Structure formats: structure tokens, C-alpha cells
Chains A and B, each alone.
Chain A
Amino acid sequence: MKLLYFAWIRVKMGVSGEHIDPPKNIEDIEGLINWIKQRNPVSNEAFSDISNIRFAVNQEYVDIDHPVQAGDEIAFFPPMTGG
């Protein structure tokens, strides 16, 4: 599973992305976030306010209950500010 971080989430995490191999019982974005957070204080802090984080799975916007699986590209970012 490939994780990507953008904008202030990238800054807080200190990396733009990482490859991970989470436990098999993780089924959706919410479960994945909870697993990411419990790894270390940096991750816990970066994901402390989920209401300000948006998600994409394989480059499509999804909700927090969207399923995740091995091989997915999962991105975390703040609300977009383009244009």
C-alpha cells in the first residue's frame, strides 16, 4: 500500500509518502488512519483533526468509509485551494 501526503499533512509527517504493510484487519480509510496514528506521536499529531483532511484512493476522491486494500495508492490532503 502506498501512502501520499500533501500540503501541511506532508509537512507534519516530514515525508511526502511511504510504503506500508498494514494489518489485514484494516478495511477502510478510517481504520487505516487509526492504525497510522498509533504508530508514533508525529503521525498521531498530523492526523489529530480528521475533519480537515480529505482522501483519495487510486486518485479518486472518497469518503472515510471507503474500503482500502493492498496495492492501493491512498492520499491524504487538506481541502483543496486551486484556481
Chain B
Amino acid sequence: MIRVQSADFDVGLELKKLTEGNHQIGAVATFVGLVRDIADKDTISAMVLEHYPGMTEKQLADIEYEANQRWDLNSSLIIHRYGHLEPGDNIVLVACASSHRENAFDACHFLIDWLKTKAPFWKLEETSEGGRWVEAKTKDDIATARWEK
């Protein structure tokens, strides 16, 4: 399941819903991304996440489908927030449930690496000198490329 929303999410509640009633699940791997208060030595007071409505949902659904093709998962969840966020706020949740840990870990890692470079989101950091767009990082491209077949 995928969700793109401005509202916060409750990790515990989401994991409970993901596994509820399915006793084949023996492992859940999760990744939670949070807003930091520092970037490149500058203090960040807030972050604004812009996205491409419609395309975001389509791309997330496609990549979740691919993860389920590549790994044997019982269930999976991607929640990505947009809008105004502050340090400490949740940005993204990826959770993958499987019978055993290997599939859960790998699928979760694949999905967050992919989200970093291929999901149509753009981050604007608010600093004391005004807003600045976060630049894409080469190391994130390398991390994503690792999963290419």
C-alpha cells in the first residue's frame, strides 16, 4: 500500500495494521526518515517538500509492485509526506513484512534507495539565510544503481 499525505503518521499503528491477522509474517523491516536540524553545517528551521501529485502516487505504486515481484513479501507500505515539516518530524516510512528477515531487509533497503532518487519529491530547506533547494547527491544515485538488475 502507498500513501502520499501532508499529515503525520504513527509508526506503531501502521506496523500493527500491516501485520494484523497475518501470522505468516515473521519479520518486518522498517525505515523511518526524519527531518534533521542541520545540513552542511547550517541550521535548518524547517523543510518544505514539494511533489508532483498524480505522478508521485503512480511511481510509488510501480516501485512497490516491483519490490513485491523481486522479494517474497506478505505486505508492504510506503508513506511519504509533503508540505511544511520541522526538525524531528517524520518524512517517510517504508515497511516490508515477510516470513523471514532477508526479504524484508532487502526490499526495504531497495525501496528507500529508490525513493531518494526516483520519487518526484523536492526538498526546500529553510535556513537563516532563506530557502535553498536540496541538491541531489551522487552517493544516492550510486546506492540506487546497486539494485539495478
Residue ranges of A at the interface with B (Cβ–Cβ < 8 Å): 4, 6-8, 10, 56, 59, 61, 75, 77-83
Contact = CB atoms under 8 A, between A and B. Distances in A.
Given A81-B134, A83-B92, A59 B58 contact: yes
B55 A82 contact: no
Q: Is chain B's binding surface mostly helix, strand, loop or mixed?
A: mixed
Contact of A80 (B54, B58, B121): B121
B136 interface: yes
Contact of A81 (B54, B80, B123): B123
Given A80-B119, A82-B119, A8 B92 contact: no
A83 B78 CA distance: 10
Contact of B112 (A6, A8, A61, A83): A83
25 contacts: A4-B52, A6-B50, A6-B120, A7-B50, A7-B122, A7-B133, A8-B133, A56-B55, A61-B118, A75-B52, A77-B52, A78-B122, A78-B136, A79-B117, A79-B136, A81-B122, A81-B133, A81-B136, A82-B51, A82-B115, A82-B123, A83-B116, A83-B119, A83-B121, A83-B140
Contact of B116 (A59, A61, A82): A82
Given A6-B122, A82-B116, A56 B80 contact: no
The CB with the most chain B CB atoms within 10 A, among A6, A56, A77, A83, is that of A83
Contacts of B91: 83
Interface in B108-149: 112, 115-124, 133-136, 140
A51 B136 CA distance: 13
Nearest to A8: B133
A83 B121 CA distance: 8
A33 to B, nearest CB: 18
Contacts of A75: 52, 55, 120
The CB with the most chain B CB atoms within 10 A, among A8, A78, A81, A82, is that of A82
A80 B55 contact: no
